[in-house]
Every structure is written in structure tokens, then in C-alpha cells.
Amino acid sequence: MMVTPSSKAGLFSGMGLWALIWGFIYHVDSIPVLNKFAHTDKILAWIRAHRTQAFLGSEAINLATHAHAMSSPTLMPFVIGGSLVNGLMIFLVNGFVHKLFSLLGARKTI
């Protein structure tokens, strides 16, 4: 089987990379070294309070790390996949999970 680059593969790999990064953000508390400096609750509360800034910052990181994607048609879907995941996580999932935990009365509100 020969693997060739395609737009779907780039899109899904960009989505997968940013899903891993968001998973890392949701589990910062479980890493002892980082637990001293950052807490998941504080990070997500800041993101909820500053959604536009968080989205612009994540997109700046996304485009800065893949700056050559602007001229490459095979890398642009990778960037677009990351943008889709960032938008979903910042504008929909983060707020939904917070409201769900607050309705359930959970002690830890993510």
C-alpha cells in the first residue's frame, strides 16, 4: 500500500494534532512538574473569559509553526484542521463542559 498526501489526510492530521494539544490542556493538573505553575481550571477560565484572544493566539501559533503552508496546497488543510478544532474547543466545547459541570454540581468545574 502506498501512502500519498491528500487533503483529507492533512485535515485529519491537523485536527488530531490540535486535539492532542487540547487534551494536554485538560490534563495539566495530572503532570506534577506543570502542576506548580499552571492549573486546568485557571487556563480554561481564562479561555472562557477571553475567547477571541485565545482563538487568535492559537491561530497565531498554528500559522507560525506552519508558515510555509501558505504556499503549499498540501499543508493548508493541516492548518485548516487545526483551526476547526481550535474554534470548536474554544467557542463550543469549553463552555458546554463548564455549564454541564456547573449544572451537575461537580466540585471541579472545568
Local mean pLDDT, 10-residue blocks, the chain (110 residues):
64 92 91 86 92 95 80 81 94 87 67
- Interatomic CA distance for residues 30 and 12, integer angstroms: 27
pTM across the whole model? 0.81
Q: What local confidence, expressed as pLDDT, does residue 18 receive?
A: 94
Q: What local confidence, expressed as pLDDT, does residue 84 receive?
A: 95
